[in-house]
Amino acid sequence: MQLRYSFRLYPSAGQRMALARAFGCAQVVYNDALRARETARSEGLPFPKTGDLSKRLITEAKNSPERAWLGDVSAVVLQQSLRDLDTAYRNFFDSLKGKRPRMGAPRYKSRKDTRQSVRFTANARWSITPGQKLRLPKIGDLKVKWSRTLPSTPSTVTVVTDSAGRYFASFVVETGPEEVLPEVAPEVGIDLGLGHFAVLSDGAKVDSPRFLRRAEKRLKKAQRDLSRKKKGSSNRNKARIKVARAHAKVADARREFHHRLSAQLIRENQAIAVEDLAVKGLTRTRLAKSVHDAGWSAFVNMLAYKAARYGRVLIRIGRFEPTSQVCSQCGVKDGPKPLHVRVWTCGACGAVLDRDINAAINIAKAAGLAVTACRAQVRRTSVPAPRSEAGTHPKRPTRLAWEQAGIPGF
């Protein structure tokens, strides 16, 4: 499978200018190609092909006085910009056919976008120098912070700058079957939540770090300082970068937590079962901030690709499974319960169940995993007989019924 490895870049002032020039040229070619196709569609003309657009918007445009500055950047960067537009149109048409979730048509890129990227393929003849620097055509040798070793020779590299003003090099590498981990016996079900980020079917609970909640005070101050700066001023741009860096710090901490936890679960378990949560619906409730702070979708996606990479099994069960309503001991459905009820007693077998552990066990059972329910049972209590079986009168008798029966002392 293909994986991306990202490393921090530290370009010099001149290299930042060269990268900004490459970002701008790629954006112009993308917008020109999108405008050409939109014009052809409105006039009822055939859809322009990528080869024709490349010849007109890159090769011929470089010889014109209006677009002569396109020759200052690598031609591969401009070609890849056209490929990005093709991908955007392909995804849009596939969404109309129902092959993928619904998405909008390609839109024009703005020079005010805080995130920019350019991609270099093998044709660009980029390389890693003996001094462990990244050599890019018409940009130079960039200093790279190598945090780990690449597993194989990368095929492409994408240079990205984010809203916080940081630069990254993202390499695409191929991984082989040699990374498959040896098989292990444990299988686990995971119940994702807000009180605890994850509760496992073996009884383990992982606390929710709440990175956004913990950083709210600092984010509030940075955002307040930004709102007081004059629009278009240099001080406002500095304040905007402070806000972006504060948010980037929160996002990086959350991503690191997801990576560590998902790697541990994949390493220790042969099969993992999770619930397909309706995250988009939950983000429209009063729990929206906490749901975004948890990042369940990103965590499950990490589990998915790591399971495929290391030879593990990830099973997703339907979101409508009544995992919180069914007793994991006897299988009797006890009905829905409000969120504040964290421990409940099964009316059929008398097992006192932890709500989250019980749900995790039911998730594993729904996925067909072999798990035990011993940790879900807290204790057993005496269960009174149901009202319908306690006597001949399932309902409380009225005063008239007692008088008609001739029972004194009512």
Residues taking part in catalysis: 191, 275, 356
The answer to whether 356 and 199 have CB atoms below 8 angstroms apart is yes
The answer to whether 23 and 109 have CB atoms below 8 angstroms apart is no
Q: State the Rg of the chain over Cα.
A: 30
The answer to whether 329 and 381 have CB atoms below 8 angstroms apart is no
AA identity, residue 345 = T
- Residue 311 phi, psi dihedral angles, 5° rounding: 75, 30
State the Cα–Cα distance between residues 20 and 392, nearest whole angstrom.
85
Residue 115 burial (CB count, 10 A): 10
Q: Which CB contacts under 8 angstroms, 24+ apart, belong to 202-206?
A: 202/371, 202/375, 203/357, 203/375, 203/376, 205/356, 205/357, 206/261
Helix, strand, coil shares of the chain, percent, nearest 5, are: 40, 20, 40
Alpha helices by DSSP H, 198-295: 211-214, 216-227, 234-268, 279-282, 288-294
Q: Tell me which H or E stretch contains 121.
A: none
| Alpha carbon separation from 124 to 73, 77, 108 (Å, rounded) | 11, 8, 26
State the Cα–Cα distance between residues 303 and 278, nearest whole angstrom.
17
Task: Record the tokens describing residue 195, joined without a space.
Answer: 């009180």
Residue 250 burial (CB count, 10 A): 18
CA-nearest of 380, 384, 359, 391 to 274 is 359
AA identity, residue 90 = R
